[in-house]
Amino acid sequence: MAADLETVAWREANELEEVEIDAPRMPLGLDGLRAKRDAQRGLPGLGALAGREVVYLRRRWDGEDSDEDLAVYLMEIGADGRRTRQVELAEDGSAVRSGPDDWPFNPPIVDRFDPELVGQEIGRDEFEEQ
């Protein structure tokens, strides 16, 4: 509850603009998000992970710089789409666990309505084993 009050206080102090999601025109940057959601409508799995307190995912990172960046991330995702814990599994078999104290930023990284996430879901046991 305290975090919610802090968020409300921060929002009020910074006078953020509210956006009506069904408005005919969206601010620059948000129009693409609406187009993406419109394309997802009707796909199986849309919203299947929404509303849960915690979701566990296995996501492959193909690397942006080179083939050396290949890794698999096991992530514990909270209700707001933010990572709460993570395990990075490298191709060489090593594993590195991390949490919010290890990340300089922790924005929401998944849209829990995204139907693609259904294929990435794993069980808590698999996450904890790593």
Range of the domain at 54: 2-129
Reduced to 3 states (helix: H, G, I; strand: E, B; else coil), residue 44 is: coil
CB of 115 within 8 A of CB of 48?
A: yes
pLDDT at 6: 73
Using the 8-state DSSP alphabet, how is residue 117 labeled? G
What distance in Å separates the CA atoms of residue 24 and residue 125, rounded to the nearest whole number?
45
pTM, entire model: 0.74
pLDDT in tens, 5-60: 777 777 677 766 777 767 778 888 787 888 888 899 989 999 999 999 999 999 98
pLDDT at 43: 92
pLDDT at 5: 72
Q: How many domains does the chain have?
A: 1
Look at phi and psi of residue 93 and say left if phi exceeds 0, alpha if psi is from -120 to 50, else beta.
Answer: left
pLDDT in tens, 58-84: 998 766 665 566 789 999 999 999 999
